[in-house]
Amino acid sequence: MKPPFSILSSKTYRALALTGICILMALVFIADTITNYAIAAAVFHTPLLLIAIRFLSARQVITLASFSMVLTVVSVLLTRAGDYEVGLINTGISLVAIAITTYLGLKLKSVQAAAHETREHLLRLSRLTTLGQLSTSIAHEVSQPLAAINSSTGACQRWLQASPPNIKKAQAAAQRIADDAQRAKDVLDRVRSITRNEAPTSSAFDLNLALTELLKLSDGERRRQHIDLRLALQSDLPLVFADRVQIQQVMANFLLNAIEALSPASDFHAARITIETRLLPGDKPQTNKVLFSIKDNGPGLSDAQLPQLFDTFWTTKATGLGLGLTISRSIIDANNGHIWATDQADGGAAFHFTLPLAP
């Protein structure tokens, strides 16, 4: 859901916030001036500065902090009621509180910005790692239309070199070339959409369609390992509201984990992955969710593994950092969803997440 002031430009919103905070600081100044020296009303500048830190730039916050300090000093000079020495002590306390609040607030904002940037780098790295794991499948998906283009090109040349040239059949071969070129382009477009380095943007989209696009990239790997894929997708599934690329990343991570759990496929009588999507009704219509589940019939998960699955750097694999499921949880949480895993009674593991419906 968009923030209430999303219709305003960022610059306009900051200007309104700055104006509002200045007005409130002026009111604090008036209250500090007309009250007794013993009342340190100037400390109420600190919550205003915390609000400013959240919405304004560091330069603007420092300017406001300096402004509030000037107001605090002027106020103690204008105040007439109370003990002047007490007023000086309270003024000193207020100035220190303003300075410390500003410093620590800006430091915290800087740390949060660095953490956000690190998270975005991890998300992009995870997407690239996912594509690396799907590289064989992607190469197969691209090589098929390229091989068909090569074959159709030879046919087109033969029809044109015939005597007389068979224009109709040459045109048909040329059309096949165009169609296969579009197939190859579609594969590359899907890869590009997953690897794009853009800010997360929530929008309404069809979860089934996003899944179908992802499955086309993984078909080669799944078939190579002779894994049976069963889909139970609700046909009239409502649109979800989330970041499409991020959700595709989570589904890809779940799918790759399931494929790895079934590798080598010969260890199982019939390696199988089942993917389900359906509407999950809530207590009220506005609490309805869309459920995504992926299940395999591999070795499953132990009771000891389940609580640790989404912990950072925890993994059952011989290689890898154990960040895939941690990042998946971070993505689902950021998109107002819920993620969890279960062990199936008849064998295998199941991973699930829910997402809110589009407004």
What would be the CATH architecture of the domain defined by 203-356?
Answer: 2-Layer Sandwich (3.30)
Q: Are 217 and 268 in contact (CB under 8 A)?
A: no
pLDDT at 5: 44
Domain map of the chain by residue range? 10-128, 136-195, 203-356
Q: Are 296 and 262 in contact (CB under 8 A)?
A: yes
pLDDT at 276: 95
Torsion angles phi and psi, residue 260, rounded to 5: -65, -35
What would be the CATH architecture of the domain defined by 136-195?
Answer: Orthogonal Bundle (1.10)
For residue 242, CA distances in Å to 2, 204, 290 come to 12, 7, 11
Q: Which burial class, exposed, middle or buried, applies to 70 when counting CB atoms under 10 A from its CB (0-12, 13-18, 19+)?
A: exposed
Residues near 188 by Cβ (< 8 Å), separated by ≥ 6? 142
The total of other beta-carbon atoms located within 10 Å of residue 333's CB is 12
H or E element in which residue 140 lies: helix 135-161
- Condensed to tens digits (0 to 9), the pLDDT of residues 174-190 reads 888 888 787 777 767 76
**Residue spans of the chain under pLDDT 70:** 1-10, 116, 118-144, 187, 190-200, 263-269, 302, 304-308, 310-324
pLDDT at 321: 39
| CA–CA gap between residue 245 and residue 43 (Å, rounded) | 46
pLDDT at 217: 74
